[in-house]
Amino acid sequence: MIARVYSCAVIGLDGVVVEVEVDYTSGFPGMTIVGLPDAAIQESRERVQAAVRNAGVPFPRKRLVVNLAPASVRKEGPTYDLPIALGVLVYTGMLSPEAAEGTMVVGELSLDGTVRHARGVLPMAATARQAGFKRIVVPEVDAAEASLIPNLEIIPVSSLSMLYNHLAGRVPIPSYTRIEVEDSPLCPPTDFGEVKGQEHVKRALEVAAAGGHNILMMGPPGAGKTLLARALPGILPKMTFEEALDVTRIYSVADQLPAETPLLRNRPFRSPHHTISHAGLVGGGNWPHPGEISLAHHGVLFLDELPEFGMRVLEVLRQPLEDKFVTISRAQGSLTFPANFQLVGAMNP
């Protein structure tokens, strides 16, 4: 019997349902993982074996084969540890196949069976709801983030043994209920009222904020250019829930969501150093990830010492400034990230 458990891969800012299949083949005891996994997933073999044993369940002395389908989708990161371990428990008969039916499972395992934080839980939860899953099992620290998606049951787990006892019907885990709290800001806001003088610059920033214009400030060092730029997000309109969800999804995929802040309510402010590469600014990598312009989506991108940035770095901003998104093409395919930001530059005379 082949055990099947469902998980999720994040491609760009969207999720793709991944079917984790567990079966056995002839050979020495061990585990082989196929289906286009990266190095972090290959290392899951050791983590899963130790976690299953430390959960009090004997690991089968067979040659297990784990397939992550579809094989055409690249999988990365350690978030498949928990579904693989769950598939092993179903395969060995410790859990019935119906125990994980209609459930998506994500999470990284420690050697002692503790479930760690997973990157990109928000788009995974959105994919689970769109694909018709009734519930999603997530690390306990990520439950608040997953609960932003309505009409989806959230099962928070802190260890593999806790999930095993829940699915076996011994110790049920109550579903997570989101508590509305005032979310902490992404960065400490600077109030315009704290800025003394520079009335003509503040007036220019007010006009830029009202019309969504980009702005360049030029003045000697110490004139207050950086302080004024940091105060700009404070006079921008408050983000709607949809805008906040878009920004939170980007930070979730980039694994930069602040701790205990499931939803970013304040507009982001990004200030990259002038030594940044063009891939770091617009996004990139072997498999593209969001860059600074996407992390500044619905917020402010501040480029201090503007002439110090490389010519190529500044040139790649042309298309995102016009189109409000950026498309990154690689041999494996192309991905599109949102980049609707307000550019603020500063330079010395």
Question: Cα separation of 113 and 53, whole Å?
Answer: 9
> Mean pLDDT for each consecutive 10-residue tract of the chain (349 residues)?
94 95 91 93 94 93 94 92 96 92 96 96 97 97 94 96 95 87 57 87 95 96 93 92 95 90 91 94 87 97 96 93 92 89 96
Within 10 angstroms of residue 126's Cβ, the number of other Cβ atoms is: 20
Q: What is the pLDDT of residue 178?
A: 79
Query: pLDDT, tens digit, for every residue of 285-323?
Result: 878 899 999 999 999 999 999 999 999 999 999 999 999
Which structural domains are found in the chain, ordered by start? 3-167 (3.30.230.10), 192-347 (3.40.50.300)
Q: What is the pLDDT of residue 5?
A: 97
CA atoms within 13 A on the CB side of 125: 31
**What is the 3-state secondary structure of 188-240?**
CCCCHHHCCCCHHHHHHHHHHHHHCCCEEEECCCCCCHHHHHHHHHHHCCCCC
Query: pLDDT, tens digit, for every residue of 170-199?
Result: 999 999 987 665 554 555 578 888 888 889
Burial class of 241 by CB neighbour count within 10 A (0 to 12, 13 to 18, 19+): exposed
Q: What is the pLDDT of residue 331?
A: 76
Q: What is the pLDDT of residue 186?
A: 53
Q: What is the pLDDT of residue 185?
A: 52
Give pTM, 2 decimals. Answer: 0.92
